[in-house]
Homo-oligomer: A and B are copies of this chain.
């Protein structure tokens, strides 16, 4: 294997300058004890020979490898690009690179990548929601990394006592606002297309809505919660199931935006207008929720900020060193309601007796909430050739 030198080395510089290797090292690392003249000359030769420090030698010598492993299910899932961008922008500012890993929720891929991350002595690991729940072996590997003082940041899991940092989103206020929004529009029969079973975030997502509607004095009808999932197909099936009911809901809350889009597609394909006949609410606020027609009313998660917060927390942990307890450094962000076109006034007569749509009534705790749905301004930009 005839290896070609991919870069000149310190030895090359030293030889060309007529100085010793560690003089060059001192210049590269801006250490004191070098005459200005020498420093200048070394710098010039470095420039000329296009010198680039060998990261492997550095890492081997004991320095951190400025590389962060990022494990997500798949970058083609519209939820993740924004998240990854948040991570990357912060990472770049601190001189870190990203090692991107798509595991497709497959244990073997995740384990392969965890091995890769370890083999490359990445300085840290950021992983998507649900990874700890996906397999005991994965959890074991991640905890082993943590025990070796590799900072770990996860999304949405806040089990106590774990040596990992979690980025949490408090959606309760936004969910309450969403419930209020639907009630204000006159909806009384409200269906839910549930997230997939078995994940912590799924359970939280449903219970947040149940709590919110209960708080507002209009508890959800459990019969209107149908099993679903996070893709469009699940949304379609869920809508079909809900609309087949004797007393079909006038509003549907979907597991996420994709499911909402699937639901809307099914409704439109089956003679229902959105929002005229049925209102639909999504979750996440992926970029296309705003572009979809009708644009989707949704519980907006600050995806970019979540990514940025994750990397920021990671850097802090890196700086703090292994002494710190590492747990309970969790970061909380807030979700917000984005009211758009997929929700509108309920035009059906309420089946139940009671207040009529539009009639003013007491608003429980409404003043506590981020009331004004701020429309996001960040744009989809620059699609290349």
Q: Which residues of A contact B (CB under 8 A)?
A: 1, 3-7, 50, 52-57, 59-60, 62-63, 65, 67, 70, 73-79, 81-82, 84-85, 88, 92, 97-102, 105, 109, 112-113, 115-116, 118-121, 128-130, 144-145, 148-150, 155-156, 195, 199, 201-202, 205, 229-233, 256-259, 261, 265, 268, 284, 286-288, 291-293, 322, 379-385
Contacts and interface: CB of A to CB of B under 8 A. Distances in A.
A231 B378 CA distance: 12
18 contacts: A55-B120, A55-B121, A56-B56, A73-B382, A78-B287, A79-B383, A88-B102, A92-B112, A97-B120, A98-B99, A98-B100, A230-B384, A231-B382, A231-B383, A232-B291, A256-B383, A257-B383, A292-B293
Copies of this chain in the oligomer? 2
Nearest to A72: B384
A121 to B, nearest CB: 6
A92 B75 contact: no
Contacts of A50: 144
B75 A81 contact: yes
A205 B268 CA distance: 35
Nearest to A256: B383
A385 B201 contact: yes
A5 to B, nearest CB: 7
A59 B115 CA distance: 16
Contact of A130 (B121, B201, B256, B384): B384
Contacts of A113: 97
A325 B286 CA distance: 45
A226 B59 CA distance: 53
Given A81-B81, A230-B382, 7 more contacts: A50-B144, A56-B56, A74-B85, A74-B382, A75-B81, A128-B384, A205-B385
A74 B109 CA distance: 24
A379 to B, nearest CB: 7
A84 to B, nearest CB: 6
Contact of A76 (B54, B156, B380): B380
A231 B379 contact: yes
A25 to B, nearest CB: 15
B7 A148 contact: yes
Contacts of A109: 92
Given A76-B85, A81-B75, A148-B4, A385 B100 contact: no
B118 A3 contact: no
A105 B259 CA distance: 33
A202 to B, nearest CB: 7
Top 8 A-B pairs, shortest CB-CB distance: A201-B385, A100-B100, A56-B56, A230-B383, A55-B119, A258-B383, A56-B59, A76-B81
Given A88-B102, A385-B130, A261 B291 contact: yes
A205 to B, nearest CB: 7
A231 B381 contact: yes
A226 B195 CA distance: 45
A57 B129 CA distance: 33
